[in-house]
Chain A
Amino acid sequence: MTTDATIAEICIAACADTYRESGEILAHAVGIIPTLGARLAKLTTAPDIVLTDGEAFLLSGPPTPGAPETEDSVVEGWAPFRRIFDILATGRRQSMMGASQIDRHGNQNISLIGDWDRPTRQLIGVRGAPGNTANHRVDYWVSRHSPRVFVERVDMVSGVGNDRAREAGLKHHRLGVIVTNLAVFGFDADGRAELRSIHPGVDPQTVIDSTGFPVDVDGVPATRVPDAEELRLIREALDPRGNRTREVAD
């Protein structure tokens, strides 16, 4: 087994794995690592997923800046913002979003820190998080796993967690995983976050210390390492300039 994979590359593979059973859906990814994860999935285990250029076009394949022998991706569809809301209402979409805060039930906040009436820090706002979580699978990406992100209680529920979804009767709600720079969480039968894997080389105590709610690290396996072909695709085809290190340093 190759062991020279970086944490960023392990995270990209973990993000790619969220699409293994997705079928023919629109992949929405916020951030460098999630975007590379979707593109890697498209080239490996999930060829049917639909990628966007991040603006208004659907692409037949990922942009591959480092592989001139590969045919560039071409436009296969048009999805201006208005159509995104139509697509998410059909459920044929899957999002990986960021999180300024996230709690053990998967309630996520990207809106503000502090009080609604007068926030101590105004962030981006709820954006599409309520609609995404009400309509289709949502996963999260946290590039700096810390107790400031993984909190007991988020200041404003933007992305709906499992407890809230149950109360609201959201039948299309589905949280997948939370990929961080230290570990991967899933959710147990009660909808609570539980560790699925810890990245190779990360001390389990670091995960405990970095999470603001209790986590059980006993018997948690190591996150899978991308294989040689995946590493080649990441390094040579998808991200030859190493943009991934801007989110997770080597």
Chain B
Amino acid sequence: MSDKRVSIDEAVASLESGMTIGIGGWGSRRKPMSLVRAILRTDLTDLTVVTFGGPDVGLLAAAGRIRKLVYGFVSLDSIPLDPLFTQARERGELEIEEYDEGMYVTGLRAAGARLDFLPIRAGLGSDVVPANPHLRTVASPYSGEEYLAMPALNLDVALVHVNRADAQGNAQYLGPDPYFDDLLAMAAQRTIVSAEKVVPTSSLLDEGSFHTLLFSRMYASAVVEAPQGAHFTTCEPDYSRDEAFQRHYATSAKDPEAWAEFERTFLQTDEAGYHAAVARFHATQGAA
């Protein structure tokens, strides 16, 4: 079996501008933030991003990397709105496909099953339909009842962050919720898995039952070991959200000068530089 381990920059170097990229996690929870930060260090652009959005969307939108956003929502959880996303939206910079959350999940399921669409009730009667003029309904051949025909959300690449993975890409989550990372992996041509820790296959059940094995190496093309790779979002039980840092992110995002400073300090550096800067941030906070 192939060893799929690569460095974070090697993993991201396989992406191309114009791709449709699914990003795992949910809101400000278990987001593949180190992969997102790595994208910010490249010149990738013109991306279609498909996600239950959090700061991943904010960061990519602010950097002008997103042409089109396909999403169920964008939120920082403990802070309801991501200022970078709302600013980009209010400036009219983003092409948008906004779906009901259940529609979004159904679109991923359709893609994973290689179907054009799946029927769903959600969305009917709402302004999601006029906002997405490509949407069609489908009549049941049995009762004639009309359903929304949610189109498949096909992905070129999925980016997910999990608690543990082996070198072949068998992926494990140890927290309370798998979110939709397995559905993204199945909807994508290939998936880059970042993990807190890459462990031997024989150790995958050391910390969780077999129920925690989220998806198989069949769906993984690259494995990146990225400790603290979801920071500042949650990665239970390895760590919870860095609320102080998220507040700093959201506050900085509201002021252009503060945001430029945030970028200089935390983003215009490599992954090690980021974590060192975060450590300095907390040291300063403690002293204040």
Contacts and interface: CB of A to CB of B under 8 A. Distances in A.
B145 interface: yes
Contacts of B75: 124
B177 A81 contact: yes
Interface residues of A, number: 43
Interface in B247-263: none
B122 A135 contact: yes
Interface range on chain B: under 10, 10 to 19, 20 to 34, or 35 or more? 35 or more
A117 B73 CA distance: 16
A68 to B, nearest CB: 26
A81 B39 CA distance: 28
Contacts of B128: 126, 130
Interface stretch (B101-109, B188-196, B269-277): B101-109
Contact of B90 (A122, A158, A170): A122
Interface in B62-90: 71-75, 80-81, 85-86, 89-90
B90 A160 contact: no
A84 B26 CA distance: 14
Contacts of B73: 124-127
Contacts of B105: 82, 85
Given A125-B74, A135-B121, A170-B124, A130 B179 contact: no
Interface in A25-75: 55-57
B100 interface: yes
Nearest to B132: A116
B127 interface: yes
B180 interface: yes
B13 to A, nearest CB: 32
Nearest to B27: A81
A168 B72 contact: no
Interface of A: 55-57, 80-82, 85, 88-89, 111-112, 116-131, 133-135, 156-160, 164-165, 167-170, 172-173
27 contacts: A55-B176, A56-B177, A80-B178, A81-B101, A81-B179, A81-B180, A85-B105, A111-B127, A116-B127, A118-B89, A118-B92, A125-B71, A125-B98, A126-B73, A126-B128, A127-B101, A128-B100, A128-B102, A130-B100, A131-B100, A134-B124, A158-B126, A158-B127, A160-B124, A165-B125, A168-B124, A169-B124
Interface of B: 26, 71-75, 80-81, 85-86, 89-92, 96, 98-103, 105-106, 120-128, 131, 145-146, 176-180, 183
Given A118-B90, A126-B100, A167-B125, 17 more contacts: A55-B176, A57-B176, A81-B101, A85-B106, A117-B92, A122-B89, A124-B73, A124-B74, A124-B75, A125-B98, A128-B122, A131-B120, A156-B127, A157-B127, A158-B126, A160-B126, A173-B125
